[in-house]
Structure 1
């Protein structure tokens, strides 16, 4: 039994929320939800768990114990393999729901995964009477509370989870059945990858052509030009200031873009831009940039660093 750590009351019929994965995104969710719900958390990273404990969350000994305590379980995990293990593996989330024992009414996966994984997990959850949603995050960690969540799953399952999801997101939109949220997120992240790539390429080109990088981005950023996006406004100054502190790593972008390209190609769609983005990300990883911010891909375009 998880030790009680607080006296948060039942909110909209949901007393305890479980969060599996207390990294950057999971910790942001915990901070927003803690005033409203009793939280129970679990992560493989001991340091992140202890930070949660110090903030007032209960800590489970494993995923199954967390799931047995929670009405709603939120997942914030690095990829499909981890999601599958956490949901259906030994001592996973669904082991707490069978047979008809205590356990979550609904699981919402806020990770970025492929639609096949989302559909498989939804089917496994349905077999033991648990609802399942794929609800990947659109938004940066510091914007938790104002995120958009495109949700795949049934209206009924979303209705159960909505009181929790609407605390971490200002827009919770059902976009289709299981897997639909994941498709939307992967396509979005391919656009992210393309904007990131062309920003890096043009920033490097501007400097080589004699323009001051800071002048280049500041002139464009406030110009009203149709080509300028919020992502350009975020990435370009990081490049100009040689700031590779990760808001989103090359490794994570590479994972998301590989999944997105696979979904497109499996549908028989030719995607040359997506393929170029995936190849560039992989080149960055091979150059040792994987743990750095995606803006660090500019180094591939700078003299002497890009492989032929």
Structure 2
């Protein structure tokens, strides 16, 4: 990863996720995705994994997975692991239904942006809450915007979504008032054409990465990310995300200076981030 010359303060953060399900965002068995980051050095991360192997009798494997810490009889290992990462880690939890609800409004009621779904994006308030409770609308939106391997939008999917719009407007989502078929097709065509200004609506990992970066940056320093390999984090998307964040926070330092993807088996820092994300996801799923 290349860090700009003269950068006053750059922190390298290793990241991984748990709960990523691609475009299957409404699977009730996987309602959240967790993105974790750690600023450990390679030696520090290797020491954490080594202790888990020796002190807590974890089997020696190329990778450590969260289920090893979540087995019965492991509370001491979990407590030790969390204590080791105190002040050296962050966790960001994304409710997938809330994410999709926000993307309905971001994509169809204004200019879509790579800031959507982050603290720097728009707050849709009550309208998003209404959409969160409408599984039929969310499912129709996902079907309509799932454009992989398509050359043009699917007319039937657009029809299904538009049929629900009048009821939504009457039920508390005025942002969609006046939405026409032409409006929807125009946005979908931009997605199909690869318009660089339009973020992928079914990839929560992109704004999740942005939130992790913003927390580590805190307006004071830039962040260089080392990430487990993820198809959602293409070089194009991460470059546009970095540029969007830089413009949004100016004149503060650019939050993101680069993303380097690695095989998690080769980087103990990413393995630690994976363990942390898995633990946080299990905790989120067990919280009423």
Please report the TM-score for the alignment, with normalisation by the length of structure 1: 0.23
